[in-house]
Amino acid sequence: MSKTLIGPVSQILPMDNMSLNGPLKDSHLSIIKNGAILIENGHILTLGSYEDLKNENAKKIFIEQPTVALPGFIDAHTHICFAGNRAQDFAKRIEGKSYLEIQREGGGILHTVKETRYATQEELTNSLLLRLDQELLQGVTTVEIKSGYGLNVSEELKILKAIQRASNEHYITCIPTCLAAHLLPADFTNTKEYLAFLLKELLPIVSKKKLAKRVDIFIEQGAFSATESFSYLKAAKNMGFEITVHADQFHVGGSIVAAQVKACSADHLEATTELEMAQLLQAEVVPVILPGASLGLGIPFAPARKLLDFGLPLAIASDWNPGTAPMGKLLTQAALLATYEKLSAAEIFAGLTYRAAKALRLVDRGILAPSLRADIVFFPTADYRQILYYQGALLPWKSMIKGEFCCVNIC
Ligand code: NIG
Ligand code: FE
């Protein structure tokens, strides 16, 4: 297949040769000024200065406007396959009601389960496709999507199939995760029995039908305990699943389990202290923090600055869901996190690219380098610092996935 050369690009930030763990300064960013990217078969062949590459025998895509190129963003934690909305929860929250109070009054996750069970697989796919368009508008090229609004065998499978279908139909690559252990459904009275049921009746089908390679659980008071979650995750891991955990959102406990089972990531971490950080570091679990959930719930952000200073990597994801994080604007959320937690642009971009890829164990993206996927986001500016400065108001003018330009703002 023929080669394509894209350039000149005012600044290319390949995000390569940067540390997986710990703090980063903008001086750690390698920036190719007046650069170009040579692509073949959906992958990067090489990148370098436009002057050096401009005579390559390739189809030329000449860029006339000031442009910054980065690896496409990876949203490593979402719940965007759902029906309905939870405006009624929002109204209660701003009256001062707590997460648990709202749940007890019939709101929360179980309300979305009801609405999602009513929806057909096709309806779920269609609404998911629209949300994927929104992700693409913000420069996201890979999205992790959890089930978890079905909470029985047929409904969880319906959601996972809707995700699979949307992934086939959209430019964006979807990474499905089975979160059937999101909350105890009304059909069960005992959490241990429900988890045993999932291990016996659901996960073997998910694995056999290749609907997800990852398993998640919500470890929290009112959801699943640390002890029962440990057994569930161990068993899921033995079945061949990769593990991720909703951990320490309101109370600690989840990230210790994530460390014990050597999960790929521990997500949320709003309540995490140094004790948990030490365990995560030792077990090489990637923390994924979710500023959108803090904005939705009106609670402090996870201690991003501390996690980095402790020597951990830090991925940033949107947690887009109908309840606690309805906004779904990853770039805006990351920019706000930078302001409040004093994170450098290098730390934010690392959290949206190669550190997010690590959380999902994706080795073919997150960095612009030879042989990796040509997933690239192009912003209309000559100065990368403007991207976070505009807090998500400066949108990419184009995104490319596997070497193909996607229709976003301008086709
Ligand atoms: O990550 N904490 C648990 N699950 C989601 C919320 C899902 C929902 O409220 O619908 C979260 O915040
Ligand atoms: Fe979540």
- Mean pLDDT, 10 residues at a time, the chain of 411 residues: 93 98 97 98 98 97 97 98 98 94 93 98 98 97 98 98 97 98 96 98 98 98 97 98 98 98 98 98 98 97 98 98 97 98 98 98 98 98 98 96 79 42
Give the whole-angstrom CA distance, residue 4 versus residue 61.
7
* Distance (Å) of CA 244 to CA 238, 241, 287, 302, 345: 14, 10, 10, 17, 26
Gap from CA of 406 to ligand 2 centroid (Å): 27
Tokens coding 253: 């406990």
Gap from CA of 283 to ligand 1 centroid (Å): 25
SS3 (DSSP) at 399: strand
Please identify every residue whose CB atom is under 5 Å from ligand 2, which is an ion.
Answer: 319
Spatial contact of 368 and 37, defined as CB atoms under 8 Å apart: yes
Gap from CA of 317 to ligand 2 centroid (Å): 9
Supply the pLDDT for residue 224.
Answer: 98
Give the whole-angstrom CA distance, residue 52 versus residue 108.
56
Gap from CA of 149 to ligand 2 centroid (Å): 12
Supply the pLDDT for residue 1.
Answer: 58
pTM to 2 decimal places: 0.98
Place of tokens 């709202």: 102
* Distance (Å) of CA 185 to CA 33, 34, 87, 145, 403: 54, 55, 21, 20, 43
Supply the pLDDT for residue 408.
Answer: 56
404, containing H or E segment: strand 404-406
Q: Is 146 in the pocket of ligand 1 (CB under 6 A)?
A: no
Q: Is 79 in the pocket of ligand 1 (CB under 6 A)?
A: yes
> Count of H helices and E strands in the chain?
17, 16
Supply the pLDDT for residue 407.
Answer: 72
